[in-house]
Amino acid sequence: MKEKVLEKFLRYIKIDTKSDDSSETTPSTEKQFNLANVLKQELEVLGLVDISLDEKCYLMATLPANTDGDIPVIGFISHMDTAPDMSGENVNPQFWPNYQGEDLVINKEKNLVLTTTEFPEMKMYIGNTIITTDGNTLLGADDKAGIAEIMTAIEYLVQHPEIKHGTIKVGFTPDEEIGRGVDHFDVEKFGAKYAYTMDGGMLGELEYENFNAAGAKLFIQGRNIHPGYAKSKMLNSILIAMEFNALLPVFERPEFTEKYEGFYHLIKMEGSVENAMIQYIIRDHDKVKFEQKKALFTDAVEFMRKRYGDDMFRLELKDQYYNMREMVEPVYHIVEIAKKAMEDVGVVPHIVPIRGGTDGSRLSYMGLPCPNIFAGGHNFHGKFEYVAVESMEKASEVIVRIAQMYAEKSIA
C-alpha cells in the first residue's frame, strides 16, 4: 500500500483547504469543497454506495459488507481542512529517502533546520522516507495523511474481497481545526456503531482521552488621548491586555506543560490604544481542574473590571468539547481491537492522552464512541511539519486489520 498512500497524500496536499475561524459559514472556506469533490469522485470510482456530499461539506460513503454475521457497523473519519495558523497554499513537499538520523535543512535561505536536538522523535524513522515542507507552508499531514490512509485502505479492501469485513462507513469533515468539525455531523445518517478518527500523531499512537476545552475572547475598550496630553487620561488597551495576560500562571502555558498537564494558550492578540482583543484556548484533561482554570480566568477578568471599570471589558467564554474517555470506557473493547490490530501489523501501540482534540471527542458525546489512531505526522500546524511514508502505510494496514477483526470476532 506504500505507493498508493503516497500518491494519494501528494495529490491531496496540493489542494488548499485552510479553514478560517473568523468565518460564520459552514464550511468556513468554500475551497474545502475542492478536496471533498475529489474524494467523492474517487469513492464513486471505487464503487462505494450511499455517497453524499451535503451543503455543509460533510462527505459520507458506505463500503457494503462482503460477509454475513452479526457484525457491528464501524466507521473511519478524517478532516479535510488544515489549520489557519499557516498557509496551506502551494505546498511544496520535500523527500528525504532512507533517512539516517541527520538534521534536515528544509530551507537554506531562511536557515530552517529540523534538528534531532529539538525534534528527537525524528530518530524513530531511521531508514524511512520522510516528507517535509519547504519552509513556506504547513505540510497538511494533519489530516490529509489520515484521509489518504482511509482511502488507501478502502481501495485495498475493494480490490481484495478475500478479506472479509462488515459494513464500513467513511466520513470526511470540514473545519475540525477551528473546533467546528462535527457541528453538523449527522450521526444517525452516518450509521456506524463505533468509529475511529485517523487524526493522531506519531507511529503507534492510540488515544481515547483528550482535553476538556474552552475558548475565550476578551475585548478591551481603551481610551486614546494625544500622547502629549495623555497623563491621567489615556487607557492603552494593548498594555491593559498585556497586564491581564500577566495575571495567568506563567508555567501553565503550552511550552511548559506535557502529558496530563493543562494550559492557557494565548493564540491571538490584536488592537490599538483604543481597542484590543486577546484570544485564548483553555485546556485540561481533568474536569475539575478544567473548571478551576475557567474560574481563574473569569476571576482575572473581574479583577481587571474592578481596577479599570466594568464597561471596559467584554468576555466571551465558551466550552468547545470534553474528554471522550467517559464515553469510550464503557465500550473499551474498541480500543483493545485497535491495539491488537497495530500489534498484528508490526506496530508497537502507544496509548497516550491527546493533548488536543479530534472530531472523535465530540462524536463520542453524540453517541458514536470514537477513539483516535495515529496518522503519522509530527509538528502539525507549522513549517516544521513532517510525516514518514512508512507510517502512513502502516496506518492503512491498521484500518484493514480492524475491519477484518470485527468480522472475525462478530462483536455485538
- Respond yes or no: is residue 344 known to be catalytic: no
The answer to whether 161 and 155 are in contact (CB under 8 A) is no
Active site residue 70: no
Catalytic residue among 143, 149, 155, 176: 176
Q: Which of 81, 155, 390, 393 is labelled catalytic?
A: 81
Which residue numbers are catalytic?
81, 176
